[in-house]
Amino acid sequence: MLFASYGFILFIGLLFIVYYSIPKKYQWQQLLGASYLFYYFSGPENLLYISFTTLSTYAAAVKISDMHRVQSQYLASHGDGMSREEKKAYKASVKSGQRRWLLACLILNFGVLAITKYSNFAIANINWALGALGSGTRVSFLQLALPMGISFYTFKTMSYIIDVYRGKYPAERNPFKLALFTSFFPQLVQGPISRFDNLSRTLFEQHSFDSRNVSRGLQRLLWGFFKKVVLADRMLVAVNTIIRNPDTYQGAFVFIGMLFYAYQLYADFTGGIDITIGTAEVLGIKVEENFKRPYFSKSTAEYWRRWHITMGTWFKDYLFYPLSVSGPMLKFSKYSRQKLGDGLGKRLPVYVSTIIVWFTTGLWHGASWNFIVWGLLNGAVIIISMECQPLYDWFHGRFNVKDSFWFRLFQVVRTILLMSAIRMFDCYRDVPLTFRMLGTMFTRFDAGELSLEALLGLGLGLPDYAVLLLGLMALVSVSLAQRSGSVRDKLAGKPFVVRYAAYYVLIVSILVFGAYGIGYDASQFIYNQF
């Protein structure tokens, strides 16, 4: 079921009516049923995957949590009679058992993710290697359907089991509540990747109808639909025209395509997140923000603290930090300091961990070399920036421009261009082709090619460009307004006429300027592939 579809609008409309009509104690059960129904529409067989993830995670978490509880009870009753060494040995034994359950759960669920998402990618590379070696043998591809949102719900549940293992909170004893956390339908398409302790605070609560929450949620929904169907799907026409005709559109057109894709991706992804957060808010449920004005970032590292925030924090908390303090990495850190000194030797393990994280991040985005290269380039840029920090500090001290408006503007523009250029590997989906097309921006750039006739040849008319320009101005204006607080809070303080005028403008824009009909594709959200 597409978010930007009449079916979804009908679905959440009926859900809303029933949700606030039934006894409050049954609300979360209704959400569970609605979530599984939503997921059923993606393919009935996909229910087996999400059910397996839920049940395996539930069993492992309960077992780990029980071992925590038994340990506490045992030490409380027998601790006084145990020596320090005996306590240490007992705790180590319990921890070993918990670790086995944790590893079993991680291997099973990441294994399912790997098989469904990466098997054919691995087979393709094996076949390429066999061909390069002159062998006529080929491995057959697997006929496996990729369940919708499997990366998102796998990461959600694996963060949950790790947190239970760490003793952050006890396991959820109700398997149906864990099933709702795993399958909560607004998040299935493209996140955010919620943590159990954050989402559960409102997910299982009883919610009365609150006109303020409903109003704010509808505002967020409309804003998301506006970004998706008015801006992203309209811009997609021009983006597809450029990337599908690389022999025709080079040089200046690659630069335009790069900016168009950045615009389209942002409107698409943030539009989907707005719909997710708005849908949840209408139901009284709080979902984490996933974006914080990323295109106002002054560096790549800052950009990734603002873009897809929950993904970044997931990799930081569950991969980067554990990897940095792991035994092998600590040994490598000691070795590198001995050989390279406390400067580079201390930084090198951090850089290795960074590269591993970004390799994994790229692979998470898609089973293709273009995503891996995209991830590695992001990691490389961040590392280079860290190494250049002394130079930046000298420059700022020498010329005293750090706080100047024009220098901050330069930093923002630089970040936008750099991140948009790296995103081209996501756009063209072919590594050699992407490098070639990026090269044409420097070898064949001719601004004279960007005539009105040429731009109209991308599949958009003058009214489309006018809509996109006004939409971009709206996005920038909202982002600037958010710097001093919530736009919705500011809107709530305006007179009745102003508030409902905003509703009217958004609804009319969606209905009149939405990219429906001939010449447009009702495309799925970009991150639905994950």
Are residues 307 and 416 in contact, defined by beta-carbon separation less than 8 angstroms?
no
- Asked if residue 112 and residue 46 are part of one domain, the reply reads yes
Q: What is the DSSP letter of 169?
A: S
- Tokens matching residue 180: 């709702």
Round to whole Å and give the CA distance between 130 and 205.
56
- Predicted local confidence at residue 302, as pLDDT: 93
| pLDDT over threshold 50, residue 322 | yes
Q: What is the DSSP letter of 141?
A: P
**Residue of 142, 110, 138 whose CA lies nearest to 125:** 138
- Predicted local confidence at residue 345, as pLDDT: 85
Dump pLDDT digits (tens) for 299-309. 999 999 999 99
- Asked if residue 514 and residue 365 are part of one domain, the reply reads no
Q: How far apart are the first and last CA of the chain?
A: 15
**Residue of 211, 443, 412, 193 whose CA lies nearest to 297:** 412
What is each CA distance from 489 to 472, 475, 481, 486, in whole angstroms?
Answer: 22, 17, 11, 5
What is each CA distance from 476 to 3, 266, 293, 482, in whole angstroms?
Answer: 24, 12, 9, 10
Residue ending a domain, choose from 181, 206, 231: 206
| pLDDT over threshold 60, residue 17 | yes
Which pTM does this prediction carry?
Answer: 0.89
Instruction: Judge whether 490 lies within some domain.
Output: yes
**How would residue 421 be classed by pLDDT, with cut points 50, 70 and 90?**
very high
| pLDDT over threshold 50, residue 9 | yes
- Asked if residue 517 and residue 389 are part of one domain, the reply reads no
Instruction: Judge whether 318 lies within some domain.
Output: yes
Are residues 320 and 509 in contact, defined by beta-carbon separation less than 8 angstroms?
no
Round to whole Å and give the CA distance between 49 and 430.
30
- Predicted local confidence at residue 296, as pLDDT: 92
Name all contacts of 479-484 with Cβ < 8 Å and 24+ positions apart.
479/293, 479/295, 479/296, 482/293, 483/293, 483/296
- Asked if residue 94 and residue 27 are part of one domain, the reply reads yes
**How would residue 368 be classed by pLDDT, with cut points 50, 70 and 90?**
very high
Instruction: Judge whether 251 lies within some domain.
Output: yes
- Predicted local confidence at residue 497, as pLDDT: 85
Round to whole Å and give the CA distance between 358 and 80.
48
Residues 6+ apart with CB under 8 A from 9: none
| pLDDT over threshold 80, residue 455 | yes
Residue ending a domain, choose from 377, 409, 429: 429
Round to whole Å and give the CA distance between 486 and 295.
18
**How would residue 522 be classed by pLDDT, with cut points 50, 70 and 90?**
very low
- Predicted local confidence at residue 1, as pLDDT: 62
Dump pLDDT digits (tens) for 67-122. 999 988 888 888 788 888 888 888 899 999 999 999 999 999 999 999 999 999 99
What is the arithmetic mean of pLDDT over 166-195?
Answer: 92
Report which of residues 377 and 87 the model is more confident about. Answer: 377
Q: What is the DSSP letter of 24?
A: G
* Residues above pLDDT 70, as percent of the chain: 96
Q: What is the DSSP letter of 145?
A: -
Dump pLDDT digits (tens) for 31-58. 999 999 998 888 888 899 999 999 999 9
- Asked if residue 242 and residue 146 are part of one domain, the reply reads no
Residues 6+ apart with CB under 8 A from 154: 53, 109, 110, 112, 113
Report which of residues 57 and 211 the model is more confident about. Answer: 57
Are residues 152 and 187 in contact, defined by beta-carbon separation less than 8 angstroms?
yes
Convert 4-13 to b/e letters by CB count within 10 Å (16 or more is b). beeebeebbe
Instruction: Judge whether 323 lies within some domain.
Output: yes
**How would residue 524 be classed by pLDDT, with cut points 50, 70 and 90?**
very low
Q: Which domain holds residue 196?
A: 21-130+142-206
- Asked if residue 523 and residue 418 are part of one domain, the reply reads no
What is the arithmetic mean of pLDDT over 475-495?
Answer: 85
Round to whole Å and give the CA distance between 300 and 302.
5
- Asked if residue 64 and residue 84 are part of one domain, the reply reads yes
Residues 6+ apart with CB under 8 A from 210: 284
Lowest mean pLDDT among 45-54, 339-348, 431-440: 339-348
Instruction: Judge whether 9 lies within some domain.
Output: no
Dump pLDDT digits (tens) for 248-283. 999 999 999 999 999 999 999 999 999 999 999 999
Are residues 273 and 191 in contact, defined by beta-carbon separation less than 8 angstroms?
yes
**How would residue 489 be classed by pLDDT, with cut points 50, 70 and 90?**
confident
- Predicted local confidence at residue 91, as pLDDT: 87
| pLDDT over threshold 80, residue 366 | yes
Round to whole Å and give the CA distance between 336 and 495.
64
- Asked if residue 422 and residue 447 are part of one domain, the reply reads no
Instruction: Judge whether 11 lies within some domain.
Output: no
- Asked if residue 317 and residue 248 are part of one domain, the reply reads no
**3-class state of residue 235 by DSSP:** helix
| pLDDT over threshold 50, residue 461 | yes
Round to whole Å and give the CA distance between 80 and 87.
10
- Asked if residue 421 and residue 465 are part of one domain, the reply reads no
**Residue of 265, 317, 258, 312 whose CA lies nearest to 289:** 312
- Asked if residue 302 and residue 266 are part of one domain, the reply reads no
Helix 46-78 vs helix 150-166: crossing angle, to nearest 10: 0
Are residues 253 and 242 in contact, defined by beta-carbon separation less than 8 angstroms?
yes
Number of domains in the chain: 3
- Asked if residue 160 and residue 42 are part of one domain, the reply reads yes
Are residues 312 and 305 in contact, defined by beta-carbon separation less than 8 angstroms?
yes
Q: What is the mean pLDDT of the chain?
A: 89
**How would residue 520 be classed by pLDDT, with cut points 50, 70 and 90?**
very low
What is the arithmetic mean of pLDDT over 215-219?
Answer: 89
Name all contacts of 490-493 with Cβ < 8 Å and 24+ positions apart.
491/219, 492/212, 492/215, 492/216
Instruction: Judge whether 488 lies within some domain.
Output: yes
Residue ending a domain, choose from 168, 186, 206: 206
- Predicted local confidence at residue 527, as pLDDT: 46
Single-letter amino acid code for the residue at 380: A
- Predicted local confidence at residue 23, as pLDDT: 93
Burial of 495 (C-beta count, 10 Å sphere; 0-12/13-18/19+): exposed
What is each CA distance from 134 to 122, 131, 141, in whole angstroms?
Answer: 19, 5, 20
Neighbours of 129 (CB within 10 A): 10
Convert 366-405 to b/e letters by CB count within 10 Å (16 or more is b). bbbbbbbbbbbbbbbbbbeeeeeeeeeeeeeeeeeeeeee
Burial of 331 (C-beta count, 10 Å sphere; 0-12/13-18/19+): exposed
Instruction: Judge whether 244 lies within some domain.
Output: yes
Helix 46-78 vs helix 84-132: crossing angle, to nearest 10: 160
Lowest mean pLDDT among 31-40, 314-323, 511-520: 511-520
**How would residue 137 be classed by pLDDT, with cut points 50, 70 and 90?**
confident
- Predicted local confidence at residue 18, as pLDDT: 93
